[in-house]
Amino acid sequence: MDLHGIVYGAVVACFVYLASVYAAFALVLAASALEHAFRTRQALTEDYDALADSRHTIPVSVVAPAYNEEVVVASAVESLLALDYPEYEVVVVNDGSTDATMRVLRRTFDLERREVFWRRQFDCRHVRAIYRSRRDPRLVVVDKENGGKADALNAGLNLARYRYVCTVDSDTVFFRHALLRAMRVAVRDPAAVVGVTSKVTISRRPEEGDPSRPGAQRIDDQALTNFQLLDYLRAFVNNRLGWTRWNFMLCSVGAFAIWRRDVVVELGGFSSAFTCEDIEFTFRVHEHFRRLGRPCRVIALPESVGRTEGPDTITRLVSQRARWQRVITETVWHYRRMFLNPRYGSVGLVGVPYYVLVEVLAPVFQVISVVVAPLAWWLGLISGADFVLLLLAMALLNGVLTNVAIGLYDRGTRAYPLGDLVHLMLLGPLDLFLYRPILFYAQAKGLLDFLRGDKSWHKFARNQRAGNA
């Protein structure tokens, strides 16, 4: 086969891939719209005041691992202690931070050392000390040697007392209703619902302002953060809700995931063998329950539960997204036995193939298309006008996906003023030209890192604040 034939074949493959991805997006989007309508209407029939005061709402242990979070940890823990929920405890795990995280916690929450004899149900590194807050006895702080996020979560779980655990990030500031809104779904069907996750928004400085009121959220003045906000919106609203509808919700976000504790115990806790624990654990839950033929639902909700810190420079963004790509590839590879395996139901037949198509293969086809497009033009296989028009069509289709995500989110929350929504919708088509190239690079880097066997976290450095600028 000559160069002409190879390039022609590659162009056709790229087109087929692109068409498959958009078709998959369209199908999942339809399911997401249905799920969004259902959950929004369901939420409107709930009496939240009664639930917030009820003794029958199941108690929850919130576990928050923290590694070098001195800037935001106090705000994050304050927001956790202010949650509107009848009975819960907060277990913060300082995972051997090398900055002032522990000092900030001690000072802000008036910690006193109070040792307890705990059950070692999950393996974890050496626990140095256990503290309880004099200010709020619901707060327990575990100080341990560094072992990674999964290890820190396991240490926190060893001290968690309640039947449900909510794993959160310590760089996320939560809204007061977060736990109540999420737990209402678990309370409805505790036998089948083993996990619940919900949407988080993004900010450069999540600790600033109180965005939980309708209309009180504002978009950032930095385009990079706003592109990430759109990315989060599309991921949560357009994808995860649809996955929930078809019962293959394969990624509970690390920033906010509720699990039935007995399920975590049964599966042996979070695994340090993977770069990230969240997606791997969700895959493991589905694999385990479906293999045994037991009922299992992991639900993603459309409501925003908090704001997490997003990287504010391209270097930090690349570092974070390369890690995400590596984690996805690691996990999908590890659980490849579920791929197109009818034993695993919708997870095996739809969920894992969807991941392979949209996430794992994306960097491969992106690299191919970058190489092939100029060659195809040079060989006269595609005209310059076609190329530009197709790029424009792709940009507009991305804009459509963005608009639908914004529309659904806005219908449920009315969180942003109209001017901000218009701004975000105008950014939608630009995403392909200004934001996607960064992600293309990060995803390709992540794939290479996976092939090299890299397992490091590459935590991005905290964004600059007024105090440390």
Partner 1 sequence: MAWWPSAPWVWWTCAIAALTYAATFAAVVVGRVRDARRRRVLDEANEWLTGAREPSSDAATRRKRALDCLAAAPVRVVERLAIETAGVGDLPQALAESLLHRLGWDTWKAIACDRRRGQARWRRVLALRVIALARPDDAVLLLEAAVQDSDEEVRGATAALLGQLPYRWAAELLVAALVSGPHARSRIATALEASPVDVADLLVELLADPRPAVRYWSAVLMRRHPTAVGLAPALEGLARDDDPTVRKAAVDTLAAVGGDAALRAARRALSDATPFVRAHAALALGTLHARDAASAVVPLLADRDWHVRSAAKRSLEAMGAHAAAAVVGALEHTDAFARNGAAEVLHHLGTFERLLALEAQGPPDTERRRALRLLARAGGARIWEATLEHLDPHARGRARALLGELDVQPAGGPPAS
Contact footprint for partner 1 (CB under 8 A): 37, 41-42, 44-51, 53-57, 112-120, 126-127, 129, 161, 187-188, 377-378, 380, 383-386, 389-390, 392-394, 396-397, 399-400, 403-404, 406-407, 410-411, 414, 418, 421-422, 425, 428-429
**Between 30 and 396, CB nearer to partner 1:** 396
Q: How far is the CB of 389 from partner 1 (least distance, A)?
A: 5
Helices and strands (H and E) in the chain: how many:
17, 10
Q: How far is the CB of 175 from partner 1 (least distance, A)?
A: 18
Q: How far is the CB of 120 from partner 1 (least distance, A)?
A: 6
Which amino acid does the sequence have at 464?
A: Q
What b/e sequence results for 374-387 when a residue is b if at least 16 CB atoms lie within 10 Å of its CB, and e otherwise?
A: ebbeeeebbeeeee
Q: What are the helix (H) ranges across 293-435?
A: 314-334, 345-346, 352-355, 362-378, 384-413, 418-434
Asked if 155 contacts 144 with a C-beta cutoff of 8 angstroms, the reply is yes
**Between 10 and 408, CB nearer to partner 1:** 408
- Work out the angle at residue 425's Cα, subtended by the Cα atoms of residues 421 and 431, and round it to the nearest 5 degrees: 135
**Between 56 and 452, CB nearer to partner 1:** 56
Half-sphere exposure of 11 (CA within 13 A, CB side): 21
Asked if 166 contacts 273 with a C-beta cutoff of 8 angstroms, the reply is no
Asked if 212 contacts 175 with a C-beta cutoff of 8 angstroms, the reply is yes
**Between 13 and 397, CB nearer to partner 1:** 397
**Between 40 and 341, CB nearer to partner 1:** 40
Q: How far is the CB of 171 from partner 1 (least distance, A)?
A: 28
Give the integer Cα–Cα distance in Å for 113 and 74: 18
Q: How far is the CB of 262 from partner 1 (least distance, A)?
A: 13
Please say whether the dihedral angle defined by the alpha carbons of residues 314, 275, 304 and 287, taken in this order, is positive or negative: positive
Tokens 């390039």, residue located: 7
Q: How far is the CB of 381 from partner 1 (least distance, A)?
A: 10
**Between 380 and 467, CB nearer to partner 1:** 380
Give the integer Cα–Cα distance in Å for 359 and 105: 38
**Between 216 and 364, CB nearer to partner 1:** 216
**Between 57 and 272, CB nearer to partner 1:** 57
Q: How far is the CB of 15 from partner 1 (least distance, A)?
A: 11
Of the candidates 81, 67, 261, which has an alpha carbon nearest to the alpha carbon of residue 158?
261
Q: How far is the CB of 325 from partner 1 (least distance, A)?
A: 27
The H or E element spanning position 30 is helix 3-44
